[in-house]
Structure 1
Amino acid sequence: MRSSFALIATAGIIALTLSGCASAPAPETGSGDSSNAVTVTGEFGEKPRVEFPSPLEPEETQCTEVIAGEGPLLHEGQMVMLGASLFNGSTGELVQSIGYDDDAAPLAIGGDTLIAFTKGLSCAREGSRVVVVAPSEEAIKPSQDPSGAEGRESLVAVFDVQRAFPARADGAVRLSRDGFPAVVLAPDGRPGITVPNADPFETTEVEVLKEGSGAVVESGDAVVVHYTGVTWDDSKVLDDSTWKAGSPTIVTVTDDEGGQMPQGFSEAVIGQKVGSQVAVVVPPSAGFGDQGNDSVPPGATLFYVIDILGVI
């Protein structure tokens, strides 16, 4: 697995659709004196040279695009692959540099990502190099208490957005068979699932709800997915569902027992095209078996709706 932002984030300083056409996202912030004071040189995708006067302590997060990207602006719910150079904005000290030399790091925008990252990347696109400068109160996770960041150091970040994945499957809609759980999508793409009052299927059963046109997923691939899983008996949403967390994730799927997800989940994804949304009934034999786990009862049949957003 590639490097991630666990170090900086933990430190804390640093089917059927209800909606019509969604409006284009607007940036949550813009450039300012602090972000414009940062000078960045070097080739996109390579570790840059970054200079700025310290301390830089803006009152709110600022973002300046120094290399223009293409396509739509980034927004919450997307996974991106990027290079990042992170600095203490109060002292000028380099804190972390990752994602360069053909080893871009994944970052899910939204959920419990640092507030500054979510705001700052809203002015970026795929191919953008952006400078983000944030006060200590926004260089934390949304779940943290902003008052605990008062008096701490500000954050300066330079991001090279090398790849951006969509927030939801965009394939052509297909109808599912009778007796399959019904899936209705909220405006943001979140699945709502109604399980029929009937005995579950006894084998792994897959339905393609949207058929994409991208690359075909192969066994062993690391795949960007957004998914909701429920138990068949009581429709309880599983704790690891990414829509519950607020952002997609990356999982490795395999046709043997080496995958990160239940075997039935992997079976549903392997062989499908990027951009597809698939639904799968996972019996205990292809799920968590008779032992279950912390959130899945023993012997439970599961039902997943999975958006396949990209292959790393």
Structure 2
Amino acid sequence: MRRIPAVIAVVGLSALALVGCSSAPAAAGCERPDAGSSALGLVKAGGEPGSPTISLTDPVYAQSTSFTDETVGEGPVVTAQTQDVVFSIAIANGATGAPILETVTPVRSVDFWTTDYAGFATMLDCATEGSRIVGAVPYDQLSEQAAANWDIQEGQSIAVVMDVQKVYKAAADGAPQYNDRRGMPAVVLAPDGRPGIIIPDGAPPQDLAAEVLKKGDGEKVGAGDAIRVQYTGVNWADKKVFDSTWEKGASTALSLDAVVPGFAQALDGQTVGSQILVVIPPELGYGDQATGAVPANSTLVFVVDILGVDAPAADTSGQ
């Protein structure tokens, strides 16, 4: 039985974050702060975009997190803490210059990084995809566990080079579309884009019914793509939410060949930035089998925001 996958578990880094920023062009209403420091002149960034390296000419100390954009990208802008990002990062001990870490993060929201490395989230505030950010973060802006893991002592700092590789949409931001099909659910949106679904009285559509509520101008998605989405699912019969990435606090990536047929049909060929309302009859959903909180023979209603497409996983089969 195919199903909509659950949110992917955390992998990779233990968690990251900083504080500060520099002046750079950004989206309307998102002004990149200036948090430079003379100490940043001691941090030397190298490596190709997406593979940063770091070295220090002298010890680097910072009383508060400071950073500057060495390169300003021209891609999408981080305008919300709930936005998902991918960045590659190189970190060194500011006191000794010893390398600590070079890695690429998994897809995570900006606010994910605040628990152990809150400064990284601040570094990303109004940053643009394609930017290279050089920063310095003091001991007291790391969690005790993070500082211990990296052997950073009180009074010391870390030096950072961060390449912002991918910025996803926080929610569907396409152009609103006019729909007039009778008997369809209504959708209301919270300020952050979280949908509420109002199921009408009466019988649901007998066939698959899909409407584009917002039409994005991004790339088309299809089979084989790892489509990054936020969604809410409601059972037509009892009008209750049975699954929601919004409630779980994280987006998810799904493939159209790993979800119920009606969900796949509704999303195939849609564009990034779009919001889709779909009513799925039982035969294109879970059929006559109960699945989790979904009873057998249920008509399912989803509102799906298409936020982006994840990069393909690296092929290590030949290694």
Could you tell me which of 187, 196, 200 is aligned with 1:196? 200
* Contact 1:28–1:120 (CA under 8 A) maintained in structure 2: no
Distance 2:50 2:142 in 1: 24
Give the 3 Å change call, closer, same or farther, for CA 93–283 of structure 1 in structure 2.
farther
Task: State how 1:243-282 maps to structure 2 within 5 Å.
Answer: 243-254=246-257, 259=258, 261-282=259-280
Q: 1:125, CA displacement in angstroms?
A: 0.9
Question: Can you list the C-alpha shifts for 1:208-258, whole angstroms capped at 9, x where unaligned?
Answer: 11122332212111122222223333443345x23234453332222xxxx
Give the 3 Å change call, closer, same or farther, for CA 134–47 of structure 1 in structure 2.
closer
Could you tell me which of 45, 54, 71 is aligned with 1:49? 54
Could you tell me which of 190, 198, 201 is aligned with 1:186? 190
Equivalenced residue count is 282
* Contact 2:17–2:113 (CA under 8 A) maintained in structure 1: no
Instruction: Classify the secondary structure of the residue corresponding to 1:304.
Output: strand
Matched, 1:167 2:165: no
Q: 1:78, CA displacement in angstroms?
A: 2.4
Distance 2:10 2:17 in 1: 12
Give the 3 Å change call, closer, same or farther, for CA 90–185 of structure 1 in structure 2.
farther
Q: Which runs of 5+ in 1 are unaligned?
A: 15-21, 100-104, 141-146
Q: TM-score, normalised by structure 2?
A: 0.72
Task: State how 1:47-126 maps to structure 2 within 5 Å.
Answer: 47-51=52-56, 56=61, 58-59=63-64, 61-70=65-74, 73-75=77-79, 76-87=81-92, 92-99=97-104, 106-114=106-114, 115-126=118-129
* Contact 1:264–1:286 (CA under 8 A) maintained in structure 2: yes
Instruction: Classify the secondary structure of the residue corresponding to 2:220.
Output: coil
Q: TM-score, normalised by structure 1?
A: 0.73
Give the 3 Å change call, closer, same or farther, for CA 33–218 of structure 1 in structure 2.
same
Q: 1:303, CA displacement in angstroms?
A: 1.7
Amino acid at match of 2:109: I
After TM superposition, the runs of 4+ consecutive aligned structure 1 residues lying more than 6 A away are: 147-152
Question: Can you list the C-alpha shifts for 1:257-284, whole angstroms capped at 9, x where unaligned?
Answer: xx2x443322221111222211112344
Q: 1:129, CA displacement in angstroms?
A: 0.2
Q: Which runs of 5+ in 2 are unaligned?
A: 1-8, 19-26, 311-319
Give the 3 Å change call, closer, same or farther, for CA 198–111 of structure 1 in structure 2.
farther
CA RMSD across the alignment = 3.5
Which structure's CA Rg is the greater one? Answer: 2
Amino acid at match of 1:291: A
**What residue in structure 2 maps to residue 19 of structure 1?**
none
**What residue in structure 2 maps to residue 298 of structure 1?**
295
